[in-house]
Amino acid sequence: MFGGKMVKRVPAWAVAVAVLGLQPASEAMAQSATGITRQDIERGVTVASRQRRDYDPLGVRLGGFTLNAAVDAGPGYDSNLLGNNRNKISDGFMDEAASVSLDSNWTRHAAGVSGNMDARQYFKESAFNWVDWDLGGYGRYDVNALTNVEARYRHYRDHLDVFNFDVQSAGFRRPVPFDSDEFQVSGTTQFSRVGLLGTVFYRTYRYENVVSDGVQNQVTFNNFDTLIGSVGTSYAFSQGRFANLVLRLQDISYQQQEARGRDSFTWQLLGGFTYDFDGVWQARIALGWQERSYRDANLKSLSGPAAEGQVTWAPTLLTTVRFNVTRSIEESIRQDSVSFIRTAGGMGVDHELRRNVILSGDFRADYREYERPSQTALDGIFTVGTRYLVNRSVSLIGTYSYSRRFEASGGFPEYDRNLFQVRVRVAL
């Protein structure tokens, strides 16, 4: 398989279903009483998505809605706040996070609101503190079982990290906060084997000026709005097996007059498939081409291959392996470079050691290519973690991350960074 010879074998989940089907009803009920259910062995269920009925929070029923909420907090240690080995700064910190959502549980149509908060306070280096939050809602109108229209809105308060190459190369030595409003309207329908999707997406970016080393950096120069329209179609060969084609058009408009030359128009065409091969291997692959042109004729257009891919492998019911890759054109906050081509990918593993003990590992690589000036950067991050579900309401989370810049041009230094975190999570 995937270029090699595929050896046909019976997936473990199929064996489990067959055996369960041959058992007497009393034995099947006893099996279910031990925690194994039909939903646990359905195709597409991963370690992360599997329901754990003895440990999942129940939420609170409020009429036709369900309220879910959680808070978590804990200490951590960052060995390199600046992402720069020439001038290392390390410090401990305290993280806090909270989330709340109210979603309908109607049989038709849907509506809901939700909010999230994530914050970090360093013990000594308070200039690196940040508080992120978002708040929004959605509504979906179901015309029939195959056709619906959905609208979403969300406001974000977010930031760009100091060790982000784009932030470093712009000369900033502090987190870069920004506000963003996001609007989206989408519709889907299906005619026999053919599915159609249309989406209109609008988002604003409003940066705050950053004071770094006593100098105020005019980050508001980078304020812009983006409008994305996409249309897509799919053809179903069979259940879980589709061919896909998507066209995306993006317009970027800067707010400050002196930055209007950075306005751009981008088109992207992707074709591929979403395929459940055998319940063990599943993939969503899309390949194509993209091109961005600018209002300022002196700015060279960017073009090249585009890609979106995700492969899931379930070697056993207790282990899930994930692979992913994307290649896209993204906006830069540097004044000497408008956009860059970003290729990101990685793999992750989730393993259910026990019903309430989940182990995870993840490696990600991020490669950035700047056209003007011609520069590149390759960053990698390796993360391992464990999640211990004490009961429905309480869980303990521990993570360790190792980051490294393997290569960077333009005189930007390579670095490594260690991050430790321990958190306690309480949920409704």
Strand partners, 287: 271, 307
Element (H, E) at 353: strand 339-354
Length of the chain: 428
Q: Which amino acid is located at 323 in the chain?
A: F
**What 3-state class would DSSP assign to 260?**
helix
Q: Minimal CA–CA distance to 149: which of 134, 139, 163?
A: 139
- For residue 219, name the pLDDT band (cuts at 50, 70, 90): confident
Report whether pLDDT(37) > 80.
no
Please tell me the distance from the alpha carbon of residue 336 to that of residue 16, in angstroms, as a whole number: 59
DSSP letter at 58? -
Q: In the structure encoding, which two tokens stand for residue 271, read together?
A: 């074709």
**What 3-state class would DSSP assign to 163?**
coil
C-beta atoms surrounding 238 within 10 Å: 9
Question: What are the C-alpha distances in Å from 24 to residues 27, 28, 30, 31?
Answer: 5, 6, 10, 11
Q: Minimal CA–CA distance to 282: which of 44, 46, 49, 47?
A: 44
* Structure confidence by residue, pLDDT tens digits, 126-176: 999 999 999 999 999 999 999 999 999 999 999 999 888 888 887 788 899
Please tell me the distance from the alpha carbon of residue 91 to that of residue 96, in angstroms, as a whole number: 17
- For residue 373, name the pLDDT band (cuts at 50, 70, 90): confident
Please tell me the distance from the alpha carbon of residue 241 to that of residue 283, in angstroms, as a whole number: 10
Element (H, E) at 314: strand 302-316
* Structure confidence by residue, pLDDT tens digits, 266-303: 999 999 999 999 889 999 999 999 999 999 988 889 99
Delineate the domains of the chain, giving CATH numbers in brackets.
1-42 (no CATH), 58-427 (2.40.160)
Mean pLDDT (the chain, rounded)? 88
When pLDDT is averaged across residues 341-359 and rounded to a whole number, the result is 95
Residues near 386 by beta carbon (within 8 Å), at least 6 away in sequence: 357, 358, 359, 360, 397, 398
- Give the pLDDT score at 212: 66
Any idea which residue has 């979106």 for tokens? 308
- Give the pLDDT score at 36: 56
Q: Are 94 and 75 in contact (CB under 8 A)?
A: yes
Angle at Cα 332 formed by Cα 331 and Cα 335, nearest 5°?
130
- Give the pLDDT score at 10: 36
Any idea which residue has 């067959």 for tokens? 18
Any idea which residue has 């579900």 for tokens? 389
Answer whether 0.75 is exceeded by the pTM: yes
Residues near 91 by beta carbon (within 8 Å), at least 6 away in sequence: 77, 78, 81, 122, 123, 124, 125, 128
- Give the pLDDT score at 349: 97
Q: Minimal CA–CA distance to 103: which of 115, 93, 92?
A: 115
Q: In this structure, are strands 130-142 and 110-122 parallel, antiparallel, or unpaired?
A: antiparallel
Please tell me the distance from the alpha carbon of residue 326 to that of residue 287, in angstroms, as a whole number: 10
Residues near 192 by beta carbon (within 8 Å), at least 6 away in sequence: none
- For residue 57, name the pLDDT band (cuts at 50, 70, 90): very high
- For residue 76, name the pLDDT band (cuts at 50, 70, 90): very high
